[in-house]
């Protein structure tokens, strides 16, 4: 049996589906570079997978494109709907605009204005709701009074397959990678990337990255069941939540070696360091893996950090960069 035909783990895309997704998204997503972080006194050789360079400033264009392009014309004509704090919404709105279909976005009231304006610039209609209503839209895959096919930000095989294409690119550029650290939001990015890595380089360590103010995965992995945490909003707005979807926890338990949690201060330091040494603008979520790698949580050797996006509010960025 070839690797491409190897049976996928339950509830996860196959390697063949990930390879197929690469063909589907080729016209929308770019092949992002992998660059060495210009720091030579860290615990590891740290590499940055620069998904912040995607057309929408985030990896979400991969999964959104792969999911939307699987819909038939009749379904597409009714429009698409998603629930997102910003990046997935931009991915869905981008592809919807390319295809000429309506896009509605359910966003939490705490979503940064930078991301809201970007969604509207792409033609998406934004409906702001409370955090609980937003979370309910994820669970119900719908929103009252809104027509359209719901494109789930993470709990979707086609979305995960699209995200998994990142792993193919990492392994082409760094075949002997020792560890990959991936921001954990809903889990679609982590599980998509990890699915391909587990088949193609099983000896590679795979870690999720969370911020201490919004880290439900770490305690959920420890307990073996989804745990509810005291979520605190911060500039790290692209990941984190009150809990973990049960299905996503089950997938994580099959795939990853643990969750690495960093304090807000460490994430700010990582964000500043990337800007200073590599001229990389990352959002808080994208800086979380780098923070974990810098303090040795991911171990030694060659460590790839997935810089998931760069859609940070400029006022927040300036405040972080100029803080003393």
Contact 165, 146 (CB under 8 A): no
Distance (Å, whole) CA 212 – CA 95: 33
Residues 6+ apart with CB under 8 A from 142: 81, 150
Residues 77-114: tens digit of each pLDDT: 999 999 987 889 999 999 999 999 999 999 888 777 87
State residue 35's pLDDT score.
Answer: 98
| Claim to verify: residue 187 and residue 161 sit in the same structural domain | yes
Domain containing residue 90: CATH number: 3.40.50.1100
| Claim to verify: residue 188 and residue 242 sit in the same structural domain | yes
Distance (Å, whole) CA 192 – CA 313: 27
Q: What is the pLDDT along the chain (324 residues), one digit of tens a residue?
A: 233 444 456 689 999 999 999 999 998 999 999 999 999 899 899 999 999 999 999 999 999 999 999 999 999 999 999 998 788 999 999 999 999 999 999 988 877 787 888 899 999 999 999 988 988 898 889 999 998 999 998 889 999 999 999 999 999 999 999 999 999 999 999 999 999 999 999 999 999 999 999 999 999 999 999 999 998 888 998 888 889 999 999 999 999 999 999 999 999 999 999 999 999 999 999 999 999 999 999 999 999 999 999 999 888 999 999 986
Residue 191: both structure tokens together: 């599980």
State residue 1's pLDDT score.
Answer: 26
286 φ/ψ angles, rounded to the nearest 5 degrees: -70, -20
HSE toward the beta carbon, residue 157, CA cutoff 13 A: 12
Q: Which domain holds residue 123?
A: 60-150
| Claim to verify: residue 230 and residue 299 sit in the same structural domain | yes
Residue 182: both structure tokens together: 């991936």
Helices (H), strands (E): how many in the chain?
13, 10
| Claim to verify: residue 219 and residue 314 sit in the same structural domain | yes
State residue 153's pLDDT score.
Answer: 86
Distance (Å, whole) CA 92 – CA 83: 10
Task: Select from 110, 134, 150 the last residue of a domain.
Answer: 150
| Claim to verify: residue 172 and residue 284 sit in the same structural domain | yes
| Claim to verify: residue 281 and residue 188 sit in the same structural domain | yes
Residue 232: both structure tokens together: 């605190």
Residue 234: both structure tokens together: 């911060």
Contact 88, 60 (CB under 8 A): yes
| Claim to verify: residue 193 and residue 313 sit in the same structural domain | yes
| Claim to verify: residue 66 and residue 23 sit in the same structural domain | no
Domain count of the chain? 2
State residue 3's pLDDT score.
Answer: 38
Distance (Å, whole) CA 198 – CA 220: 21
State residue 193's pLDDT score.
Answer: 98
| Claim to verify: residue 93 and residue 162 sit in the same structural domain | no
Task: Select from 120, 150, 180 the last residue of a domain.
Answer: 150
Task: Select from 100, 123, 150 the last residue of a domain.
Answer: 150
| Claim to verify: residue 65 and residue 44 sit in the same structural domain | no
Residue found by looking up tokens 């969750």 in the block: 259
State residue 9's pLDDT score.
Answer: 65
State residue 5's pLDDT score.
Answer: 41
Has this prediction a pTM greater than 0.85?
A: yes
Residue 81: both structure tokens together: 């709907």
State residue 279's pLDDT score.
Answer: 97
Nearest in space to 87 (alpha carbons), one of 48, 124, 35, 141: 124
| Claim to verify: residue 284 and residue 316 sit in the same structural domain | yes
| Claim to verify: residue 302 and residue 227 sit in the same structural domain | yes
């Amino acid at each position: 049996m070839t690797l491409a035909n190897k049976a996928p783990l339950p509830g996860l895309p196959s390697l063949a589906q990930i390879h197929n997704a690469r063909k589907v998204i080729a016209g929308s997503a770019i092949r992002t570079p992998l660059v060495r972080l210009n720091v030579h006194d860290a615990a590891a050789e740290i590499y940055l997978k620069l998904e912040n360079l995607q057309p929408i400033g985030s990896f979400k264009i991969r999964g959104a494109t792969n999911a939307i392009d699987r819909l038939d014309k009749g379904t597409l004509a009714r429009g698409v709907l998603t629930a997102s704090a910003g990046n997935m919404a931009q991915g869905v709105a981008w592809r919807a605009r390319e295809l000429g279909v309506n896009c509605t976005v359910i966003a939490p009231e705490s979503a940064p204005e930078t991301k809201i304006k970007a969604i509207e610039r792409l033609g998406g209609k934004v409906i702001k709701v409370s955090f609980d209503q937003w979370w309910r839209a994820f669970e119900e895959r719908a929103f009252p009074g809104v027509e359209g096919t719901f494109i789930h930000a993470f709990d979707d095989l086609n979305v995960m397959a699209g995200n998994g294409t990142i792993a193919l690119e990492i392994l082409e550029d760094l075949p002997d990678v020792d560890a990959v650290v991936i921001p954990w939001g809903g889990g679609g990015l982590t599980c998509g990337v990890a699915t391909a890595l587990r088949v193609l380089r099983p000896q590679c360590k795979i870690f999720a990255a969370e911020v201490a103010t919004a880290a439900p995965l770490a305690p959920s992995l420890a307990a073996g069941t989804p745990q509810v945490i005291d979520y605190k909003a911060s500039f790290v707005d692209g990941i984190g939540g009150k809990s973990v979807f049960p299905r996503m926890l089950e997938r994580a338990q099959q795939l990853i070696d643990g969750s690495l949690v960093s304090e807000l201060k460490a994430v700010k330091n990582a964000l500043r360091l990337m800007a200073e040494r590599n001229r990389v603008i990352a959002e808080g979520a994208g800086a979380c893996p780098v923070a974990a790698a810098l303090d040795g949580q991911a171990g030694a050797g060659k460590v790839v950090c997935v810089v998931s996006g760069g859609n940070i509010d400029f006022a927040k960025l300036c405040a972080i960069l100029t803080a003393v």
